[in-house]
Amino acid sequence: MNAPDNSTQADAKPTPSDLQRSFLRHLKHTIVKDKYSATPADLYLALAYAVRDMLAERWLETQQAYYRNNAKRVYYISMEFLMGRTLGNSLINLGIMEEWEGALKQLGIDATDLQESEWDAGLGNGGLGRLAACFLDSLATMSLPAYGYGIRFEYGMFFQKIVDGGQYETPDNWLRYGNPWEFGRQEHLHKIRYHGRVTEYRDEEGMQRHDWVDTHDVMAMAYDVPVPGYGNETVNTLRLWSAKSTRDFELSFFNQGNYIGAVESKMRTENISKVLYPADHMAEGKELRLRQEYFLSSATVQDIFYRFSKKHGDVSILPTKVAIQLNDTHPTLAIPELVRILLDEKLLAWDDAWKISVETFAYTNHTVLPEALETWPVRILENILPRHLQIIYQINDHFLREVASRFPDDMERLRRMSIVAEEGEKHIRMAHLAIVGSHSVNGVSALHSQILKDDLFHDFYEMWPERFNNKTNGITQRRWLKHANRWLADLVSSRIGHGWITDLGELARLRELADDREFQQQWIEVKQANKRHLADLILRDTGVRVSADSLFDCQTKRIHEYKRQLLNVLHVITRYNRIKATPGCAITPRTVIFSGKAAPSYFMAKLIIQLITAVGAVVNNDPAIHGLLKVVFMPNYNVSLAECIFPAADLSEQISTAGTEASGTGNMKYALNGALTIGTLDGANIEIMEEVGRDNIFIFGLTSKQVTHLKRAGYHPRDHYLSDPELKQALDMIAGGTFSPDDPDRFRPISDNLLANDHYLLLADYASYITSQEQVDRLYQEPYEWARRSILNTAGMGKFSSDRTIAEYAREIWNIQPEIIRPTRRFNI
């Protein structure tokens, strides 16, 4: 049957009745409900299916065009894709939000309510996973031939509940009600092998060859998720792998006697894609994690190879058709996996296989914290991936020879640079493997990339300076302004048009409006409305009533010592003490909002959450405070909650110890939504300062150079404690049980740690932070001046679009070009 040819109406938008028909058809025939029996979740699903239909044709057309034109593709491999909700984003990118809202309204349905029925796709921990999601949006919007590759975890990031003031985790069974955005591809299956042993033989040319035999196998099955671009015809693919037992595909299984045993072993193998590891910045050496990393790496490389081989016989041209970006070291096994395929299956010589591999791969580093750098015990690799271990040794062998010839008689250097760490139990250093096996190594902000060259990877930089480069992170303005903050987006568009949606540099045109009193007034009103909305959520989720007239001071991110939520708490306690000490003082009313998850096994991070809620309990209920200070911890920080918090923030807390936060991306989302930043000279904060102007940001604390020097010279946190009475008072309250009267010692580990070690230099930065907070208070007393600076912050965010970041990757690393998809038939629903 031929599809009706409505190509002449390519640009026509569907009518309300078209949309209603499609929606009602799905409600009746896909969901099998009517207006009497449909729940809000059913209505959401009906809309999702109707919107999905609108993507289908563009998706097929995009994939065909890539194939037909034999475009060079980029593959973004990531253990995490933190996508959040999809419906609203699809409506925006298809340019049919208003149309759908109108059509549903006629049916008496509120489209916003429906969107809230959708569960977040929480397949990520935080920054790294959300960055991958923003990149997908930019890749599609810029018409780039790209694929995301990840794992379809059955359980995403855990749900955080606050019970008795502390974090309590429950599983995120996000697929329970079905996922309308995924398409299982039973036919796209790859065999993933584990264990077994390696045998040797000589090929016809007398070359030593290897076979990997007697393996235990698992199948990787593809689930495809469409990724539409904004305002164009492109729909790219995010392909997520799910583990399926090979038993399902083996007839012999039915003839075996041990039925239950067979099903048990099937379940064990399917566990591989069961759950996302919830620890970021903590490379836990768990075997299951290694299996997951190889599962993703192997399935993806096989898939890439399969797609390449449909068009090409000569594997030597692989790097001209394929670029693979490794999102941190987590998928680094893709390197030895590609080498293995080239050597053992394509029977290439080592030098040829290695050259192809290096030219294909590029690696992004996201952290300098030593505990987050992945290493795997040789013992475990030997057992699970014996052939890959051999290949890694061979890579190291060639590599160390090269080092020795470049830097003769430098044993110490060989030891430092080796892919194999020989101290204690032998380990494989995944970052070293990634650097050696890639033609590009990048950090995610200017400072971070400099630290990689000067410090963490200095030896490698000396060897291959041309490999090192910077790609400052970015965020997608489609989600983080247009979708999350509609009122502000509309206000901006009313003054400078819609160009910023695909060219964020356009926001600079707001600068000339920064002094316009009427515009400032409108700006203030939008912020006020967003704050009222958040205040309602806070009341609903925490039971605390906060005033939208107070300054909303926000720190939302994973809970980690290096991010220094505790420094924020020290300020809160100091502020509390000042209000108590001076009754009736004219201090600026503040609501301090925290949100973020702690890794379940991270004792100190969990204790920090307890302290925040405990301080809140004291401060919020103290009548002497007269509501001048409120402290709330919003549970279960995720993409959807973030979409409510960023638009309502006055002040953005970006206060990590200088030199520890690789980039940060929340900092960009806050500033884009008009929050002023209080921050250290760390990560992308530095570049934000450069863009918005030094006068429009509150900078405090040691620089990363000063941090290094202080640590080298010997740091004595207790000196600060002894010399600063307000700091002493705050720490004594934590240590003495002011916030834990039922258990006075509960928070002793926090104060003890700060006084004895203070690894992240909170006490060294305390005084400067407090001074900076006083400047914040003073500025907030002048609402129009605050509004002016807020406007200048939004106006300065042009650089931080992920479109800019992706354009740089495409040009400087991947060497790929846009592939414009022409409209054919549209809105065929």
Binding site for ligand 26Q (CB under 6 A): 125-128, 131, 277, 279-281, 283-284, 289, 366-367, 372, 374, 444, 473, 661-665, 683
Active site (annotated) includes residue 665: yes
Closer by beta carbon to ligand 26Q, 284 or else 525: 284
Q: Please identify the residue of the shown chain whose CB is closest to the bound ligand 26Q.
A: 127
Q: Is the dihedral of CA 747, 752, 755, 761 positive or negative?
A: negative
**Could you count the other beta carbons within 10 Å of the beta carbon of residue 716?**
14
What does the block give as tokens for 618? 């004291």
3-state helix vs strand vs coil in the chain, percent to 5: 55, 15, 30
What does the block give as tokens for 166? 């502390």
* Closest separation in Å from C-beta 603 to ligand 26Q: 17
Active site (annotated) includes residue 669: yes
**Could you count the other beta carbons within 10 Å of the beta carbon of residue 540?**
8
| Cα-only R_g, the chain | 28
Closer by beta carbon to ligand 26Q, 237 or else 660: 660
Question: Is residue 520 helix, strand or coil?
Answer: helix
* Closest separation in Å from C-beta 280 to ligand 26Q: 4
Kindly provide the b/e burial profile for residues 308-319, where b requires at least 16 CB atoms within 10 angstroms of the residue's own CB: beeeeeebeebb
Closer by beta carbon to ligand 26Q, 283 or else 341: 283
* Closest separation in Å from C-beta 57 to ligand 26Q: 34
- The active-site residue out of 563, 564, 630, 746 is 563
* Closest separation in Å from C-beta 226 to ligand 26Q: 24
E-assigned strand segments in 378-499: 420-421, 427-429, 440-443, 468-470
* Closest separation in Å from C-beta 680 to ligand 26Q: 13
- The active-site residue out of 239, 669, 720, 788 is 669
Closer by beta carbon to ligand 26Q, 444 or else 672: 444
Measured distance between the N- and C-terminal CA atoms of the chain, rounded to whole angstroms: 16
Closer by beta carbon to ligand 26Q, 280 or else 653: 280
* C-alpha to C-alpha distances, 178 to 49, 202, 490, 827, nearest whole angstrom: 12, 51, 34, 25
Tokens 């991270």 sit on residue: 602
* Closest separation in Å from C-beta 431 to ligand 26Q: 11
Closest CA to 229 of 501, 506, 12, 504: 501
* C-alpha to C-alpha distances, 461 to 50, 51, 122, nearest whole angstrom: 52, 48, 36
E-assigned strand segments in 234-359: 235-245, 322-327
Closer by beta carbon to ligand 26Q, 362 or else 372: 372
Closer by beta carbon to ligand 26Q, 375 or else 485: 375
* Closest separation in Å from C-beta 284 to ligand 26Q: 5
Tokens 């009736």 sit on residue: 584
* C-alpha to C-alpha distances, 416 to 419, 480, 605, 812, 818, nearest whole angstrom: 9, 42, 32, 29, 41
* Closest separation in Å from C-beta 540 to ligand 26Q: 29
Phi-psi region of 217 (alpha: psi -120 to 50; beta: other; left: phi over 0): beta
Closer by beta carbon to ligand 26Q, 475 or else 492: 475
DSSP annotation of 701 reads: S
- The active-site residue out of 85, 239, 482, 557 is 557
User: What residues have CB less than 8 Å from 741, skipping those under 6 apart?
Assistant: none
* H helix runs in 119-205, sequence order: 127-141
* Closest separation in Å from C-beta 255 to ligand 26Q: 40
* Closest separation in Å from C-beta 74 to ligand 26Q: 17
Q: Is the dihedral of CA 592, 776, 644, 158 positive or negative?
A: negative
E-assigned strand segments in 109-234: 121-123, 146-151, 159-163, 166-170, 183-194, 197-202, 208-213, 216-228
Contact between 663 and 444 under an 8 Å Cβ cutoff? The reply is yes
Active site (annotated) includes residue 286: no
Closer by beta carbon to ligand 26Q, 44 or else 602: 602
Closer by beta carbon to ligand 26Q, 290 or else 615: 290
Nearest 5 degrees, angle CA 767-CA 772-CA 777? 125
- The active-site residue out of 269, 364, 476, 665 is 665
* Closest separation in Å from C-beta 825 to ligand 26Q: 39
Active site (annotated) includes residue 366: yes
* Closest separation in Å from C-beta 668 to ligand 26Q: 9
- The active-site residue out of 558, 571, 720, 789 is 558
- The active-site residue out of 366, 482, 564, 597 is 366
Closest CA to 502 of 537, 470, 478: 478
The pairing of strands 208-213 and 197-202 is antiparallel
Find the helix or strand (DSSP H, E) in which 672 lies.
helix 666-672
Closer by beta carbon to ligand 26Q, 330 or else 387: 330
Closer by beta carbon to ligand 26Q, 326 or else 444: 444
Burial class (CB in 10 A: 0-12, 13-18, 19+), 17: exposed
Question: Which residues belong to the active site?
Answer: 366, 557-558, 563, 665, 669
